[in-house]
Chain A
Amino acid sequence: GESVGLHLPTLSVQEGDNSIINCAYSNSASDYFIWYKQESGKGPQFIIDIRSNMDKRQGQRVTVLLNKTVKHLSLQIAATQPGDSAVYFCAEIGETSGSRLTFGEGTQLTVNP
């Protein structure tokens, strides 16, 4: 079936390094993607979104890249800080899914001081 998934379940980086979190999706009809950050005991926090008619979008310290050819999404975090430690989820909305979000399983990012 259609799904959104992640390549790696965990990622460990040094403070100050750049982080790259990857996500693969299988629904070719997906037209809207969101990255969420979820800290322990909290709800998912919106980070950045991108539509399927875009390849790249930048926010504050974060960049999302979309490669529709290989159905791949990535989140880049510049100068990673200890406060960035969390689980990161990609989620998508397809043309036929209304406004329901389909989430992947998440990547645990750990930032080492």
Chain B
Amino acid sequence: DAGVTQSPTHLIKTRGQQVTLRCSPKSGHDTVSWYQQALGQGPQFIFQYYEEEERQRGNFPDRFSGHQFPNYSSELNVNALLLGDSALYLCASSVQGSETQYFGPGTRLLVL
């Protein structure tokens, strides 16, 4: 039973560029949440997708957007990258109605 998978594992971009990160949820899960984790900090909630719609959003600007596909996988898009966007981006999956979220290994993004 595959767990949550994310790609790529690492990514280097320059300021102003755009990036797309991908996530496949754990088998049987239909809800995907995205978190940003700065170095030495706890993860911060970005948004959550269920039934291909954004259901909840944290305190992140519109530069952060997402998408969920019919197979429940998800993408996180960040436009106009800033140096401060450098972080570990985590995807977590769950079953709608259950609070327990399981995390993927993350994508380490470095913005130069």
Inter-subunit contact A100/B58 (CB<8 Å): yes
Q: How large is the interface on A (under 10, 10 to 19, 20 to 34, 35 or more residues)?
A: 20 to 34
Instruction: Kindly state whether residue A89 has any CB partner on chain B within 8 Å.
Output: yes
CB neighbours of A102 from chain B (8 A)? 45
Stretch at the interface among B11-19, B65-73, B74-82, B100-108: B100-108
Cβ 8 A contact of A44, one of B48, B55, B90: B90
Distance between B106 CB and nearest chain A CB, rounded to angstroms: 5
CB neighbours of B35 from chain A (8 A)? 101
Within 8 A of B (CB), among A64-113: 89, 91, 93, 98-106
- Could you count the A-B residue pairs with CB atoms below 8 Å apart for me: how many are there? 61
Contact A105 B42, CB 8 Å, known A99-B56, A100-B33, A100-B48: yes
CB neighbours of B44 from chain A (8 A)? 103
Instruction: Kindly state whether residue B99 has any CB partner on chain A within 8 Å.
Output: yes
Alpha-carbon gap, A32 to B101, bound state (A): 12
Alpha-carbon gap, A103 to B88, bound state (A): 15
Q: Considering only CB atoms and an 8 Å cut-off, how many residues of chain B contact the other chain?
A: 25
Instruction: Kindly state whether residue A12 has any CB partner on chain B within 8 Å.
Output: no
CB neighbours of A14 from chain B (8 A)? none
Contact A101 B106, CB 8 Å, known A34-B100, A46-B100: no
Instruction: Kindly state whether residue A43 has any CB partner on chain B within 8 Å.
Output: yes
Distance between B26 CB and nearest chain A CB, rounded to angstroms: 11
How would residues 38 to 76 of chain B score, 1 for a CB under 8 Å from any chain A CB and 0 otherwise?
001111110010000001101000000000000000000
**Which residues of B are at the interface with A, using a C-beta cutoff of 8 A?**
4, 31, 33, 35, 40-45, 48, 55-56, 58, 90, 92, 94, 99-106
Query: What are 26 A-B contacts with C-beta separation under 8 Å?
Result: A4-B42, A32-B99, A34-B101, A42-B105, A43-B90, A43-B105, A43-B106, A44-B103, A46-B100, A46-B101, A46-B103, A49-B100, A98-B48, A98-B55, A98-B56, A99-B31, A99-B33, A100-B33, A100-B45, A100-B56, A101-B33, A101-B35, A101-B43, A104-B42, A106-B40, A106-B42
